[in-house]
């Protein structure tokens, strides 16, 4: 059975899982929106209440939809692509999501590399470094911006004014069920770059 490779920061329980599904998650415009992100820019180390304040920017309807996705799709894990990863660590992100009502905050397990300076390149680099090609492992990029090129069919775009919706989650549930996001479909292209 082929598996995902072990790497620094991985929760030990996922070691050896096959049929792993990974969401490359942006927070801004996905879990918060124009209304809920009124406190954007608060993520700085001098603010002692950073976790509470950051949690208050997360939109409850988006968290409910993220919970629904995780309840519907087995072996789901999160790799953070958000700019939040520049300012706070994974443990703090887990706390923020937990306080916000995300029941699977323990499944945030890594971040994408900071280079190159574009999301598709960061996702490809993460996949090259950590993933093993398998017929059952799959991934999707969840973002408020369009992802073009090689990873376009592996992405779901939210409306940044609204955040994550039932329709976005239905698309991902169907995509995972129908194996539209299988890594094996593009592994030969990612592996060679």
What is the pTM for the complete model shown? 0.86
Contact yes or no for 35/162 (Cβ under 8 A): no
pLDDT of 91-107, one tens digit each? 999 999 999 999 999 99
pLDDT of 37-93, one tens digit each? 544 555 555 555 778 888 888 999 999 999 999 999 999 999 999 988 888 889 999
Nearest to 108 by CA among 119, 96, 94: 94
Is it true that domain 12-192 has CATH number 3.40.50? yes
Task: Give φ, ψ of 102 to 5 degrees.
Answer: -80, 115
Cα–Cα distance measured from residue 45 to residue 143, given in angstroms and rounded to the nearest whole number: 25
* Distances 128 to 52, 133, 179 between C-alpha atoms, Å: 35, 9, 20
Per-domain residue ranges of the chain: 12-192
């Amino acid at each position: 059975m082929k598996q995902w490779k072990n790497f620094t920061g991985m929760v030990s329980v996922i070691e050896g899982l096959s049929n792993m599904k990974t969401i490359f998650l942006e927070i801004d415009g996905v879990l918060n929106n124009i209304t809920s992100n009124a406190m954007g820019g608060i993520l700085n180390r001098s603010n002692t209440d950073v976790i509470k304040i950051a949690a208050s920017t997360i939109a409850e309807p988006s968290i409910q939809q993220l919970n629904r996705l995780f309840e519907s799709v087995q072996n789901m894990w999160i790799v953070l692509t958000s700019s939040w990863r520049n300012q706070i660590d994974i443990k703090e992100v887990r706390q923020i999501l937990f306080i916000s009502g995300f029941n699977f905050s323990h499944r945030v397990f890594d971040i994408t590399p900071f280079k190159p300076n574009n999301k598709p390149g960061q996702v490809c680099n993460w996949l090259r470094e950590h993933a093993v090609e398998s017929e059952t492992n799959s991934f999707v990029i969840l973002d408020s911006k369009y992802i073009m090129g090689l990873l376009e069919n592996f992405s779901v775009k939210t409306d940044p004014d609204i955040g994550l919706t039932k329709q976005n989650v239905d698309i991902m549930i169907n995509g995972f069920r129908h194996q539209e996001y299988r890594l094996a479909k593009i592994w030969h292209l990612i592996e060679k770059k």
